[in-house]
Amino acid sequence: MRFYFLIIFLLPLQVLANYSVIDSLNAKSNDKYEYGLNIKKTIIPVSLVFVGVIGFESNGFEIFNEEIQEEVAENIDRRFTIDDFMQYAPAGVVYANNLLGVKGKHSFSNQLLLQGTSLFIMGAVVNTLKYTAKEERPDHSGFTSFPSGHTAMAFVNAELLWQEYKDVSVWYGIAGYSMAASVGIFRVVNNKHWVTDIAAGAGIGILSTKISYLIYERILTRKKNRKQTALMIPFYNTKQLGLSCSITF
């Protein structure tokens, strides 16, 4: 089905874009920050969000969405619940690796912090858009179709898996993004979302995790590595004797 190939086609593009970033880092890129955002790192997720947003105003995308849902209705007569669980699967791999002793980029506690920050950013963006756009779902069950929260959650976790284990094997990225894309596909198959909802959710999920790593690197680690100094200078002004203290932290 066309929507299946559309989403699967985007997977290797994102992994390859990220993988080329690794190569550039290994080649001692001039970028002092590993998680700094640039066009190469964000072009795929930004494009996905863009596709989702213009879906509101584009007659071409509206027709495309309707054609996909017609194909779903004609060819698939059952619904699946696997998307409710698979959205967490990539993160499950991260924490399973911790139990198995496969070390990721960060410690377990920092992985939890990074995931929590990513989910906070994603949740804020997704819920704001849902209750602002008020897009009706294909099955007419509500007006919270845009963007897909399940898909955003899945791609948050897929990007977490990739960021933590990209130095171990590229297959972690492929596996994580494949699971996340499957969630998006099932949301369309279950008639809960339009394809443009899925695209936007995927882009938001990826960007949310990238931003959380950027925040961690630029703010949290900087505070951790910042040198703390204390300077004490005695003073006497003919009337008073004391110490002047200066602390930098």
pTM of the model: 0.79
pLDDT of residue 222: 64
Where does the pLDDT of residue 107 fall: very low under 50, low under 70, confident under 90, or very high at 90 and above? very high
Q: What is the distance between the alpha carbons of residues 164 and 159, in angstroms, rounded to a whole number?
A: 8
Q: What is the distance between the alpha carbons of residues 33 and 125, in angstroms, rounded to a whole number?
A: 25
Q: What is the distance between the alpha carbons of residues 94 and 107, in angstroms, rounded to a whole number?
A: 11
Q: Please say if the pLDDT value at position 28 is more than 50.
A: no
Q: What is the distance between the alpha carbons of residues 18 and 240, in angstroms, rounded to a whole number?
A: 63
Higher pLDDT, 90 or 223: 90
Instruction: Give pLDDT tens digits for 159-206.
Output: 999 999 999 999 999 999 999 999 999 999 999 999 999 999 999 999
Q: What is the distance between the alpha carbons of residues 159 and 64, in angstroms, rounded to a whole number?
A: 28
Number of structural domains found in the chain: 1
pLDDT of residue 40: 83
Instruction: Give pLDDT tens digits for 71-106.
Output: 888 877 777 889 999 999 999 999 999 999 999 999
Q: Please say if the pLDDT value at position 9 is more than 50.
A: no
Tell me the mean pLDDT in the region 14-42: 60
3-state SS, one letter per residue, for the chain: CHHHHHHHHHHHHHHHHHHHHHHHHHCCCCCCCCCCCCHHHHHHHHHHHHHHHHCCCCHHHHHHHHHHHHHHHHHCCCCCCCHHHHCCHHHHHHHHHHHHCCCCCCCHHHHHHHHHHHHHHHHHHHHHHHHHHCCCCCCCCCCCCCCCHHHHHHHHHHHHHHHHHCCCCHHHHHHHHHHHHHHHHHHHHCCCCCHHHHHHHHHHHHHHHHHHHHHHHHHHHHHHHCCCEEEEEEEECCCCEEEEEEEEC
pLDDT over 70 percentage in the chain: 74
CA dist 126 → 121, 139, 218 (Å): 9, 20, 24
Q: What is the distance between the alpha carbons of residues 144 and 137, in angstroms, rounded to a whole number?
A: 7
Higher pLDDT, 22 or 67: 67
pLDDT of residue 54: 87
Domain that holds residue 154: 2-248
